[in-house]
Amino acid sequence: MATIAKPFGSRPYFRVPLAGGGVLELGVRPLVMGILNVTPDSFGDSGIVTPAEAIDRALEIEDEGADILDIGGESTRPGAEPVDAETERRRLLPVLEGLRGRLGIPISVDTYKAAVADAALDAGAHMVNDVSGLTYEPELAHVVGRRGASIVLMHTRGRSKDMYQEAEYSDVVVDVARELTARVDAAAAAGVPLEAIVVDPGIGFAKRPEHSYGVLARLSALADAVGRPVLVGPSRKSFMRAAAEGAEASDRDWTTAAAVTASVLGGAHIVRVHAIRPMVQVVRTAEEIRKAG
């Protein structure tokens, strides 16, 4: 009788340290990271611009079933204008300070700036989500290492305004895995413990739609090659625009559900999403399918 190969990706177990002494257990089940944009120009939602609104939404995100809150003060969508560190701190710190002692889930701060990350960790954040993979401000690694935080290193090329010019790959999964491994090595050399590093293949960043779909289709191979826990953030992104019949970002939750399912089946440890409650249900269902396989 022929041997039938396992159809889905494995998801190894990792214990990732958090600032403040906690630990994030990755691998028992896929975790849901809820997105909170404290910006006026977010692509995926209308943006929240007052601390009171942001604090209320953060508590809702926890109540809706998120395992991690990811809060950002600068839009990093393709083509976005950068903001200075002081503006980013002004947006983030009142929210983080207002959540101290009120939120029961870990907080990730979505920034590539060392000074912003340091201030956010002071204000109660536990981990850093760097869309540049330490290529914009390499000194961020020293902050993360010194503070005992964890870091998500995302794959990208170039800056927001020119990243699509860099979207040339001989094999997108092989190339992304190689470049992410180099970023992991750079972080470790700069003092970030290996166990504190999570990787993100950067769906939609410096990738045309076919590249993003290719990464999702072969996510397990990419994860095996890099050897670190994987976060995937496909939520409402433009690579799904054609499948969504041209719908605006806020109307792409059905296509997001398909991409989240593919991520879980491929062995993702964390999925980063806007619509928390429905995506929690998607993740649970996809995980039951993966376990059955």
Residue 250: in which H helix or E strand, if any? none
CA 283, 132, 240, 83 dihedral sign is positive
Determine whether 291 is an active site residue. no
Dist CA 7 CA 156 (whole Å): 29
Tokens found for residue 83: 């903001």
Question: Token pair 């410096």 is at which residue?
Answer: 206
Q: Which two tokens stand for residue 135?
A: 């290529």
If DSSP codes are grouped into helix, strand and coil, which group holds residue 273?
A: strand
Query: What is the Cα 3 distance to its own chain's centre?
Result: 36
Cβ atoms 206, 163 nearer than 8 A: yes
| Catalytically annotated residue among 183, 218, 237, 252 | 237
Angle between helices 172-189 and 140-147 (to 10 degrees): 60
Q: Which residues have C-beta within 8 Å of that of residue 16, sequence separation ≥ 6?
A: 23, 24, 25, 26, 127, 150, 195, 196, 198, 229
Q: Out of 272, 284, 290, 291, which one is annotated catalytic?
A: 272
HSE, CB side, 13 Å, CA atoms: give it for residue 231: 30
User: 113 catalytic, yes or no?
Assistant: no
Of the chain, the end-to-end C-alpha distance in Å amounts to 19
CA atoms of 241 and 257, how far apart (whole Å): 14
**Token pair of 151 as six digits:** 């870091």
Please list the active-site residues: 237, 272
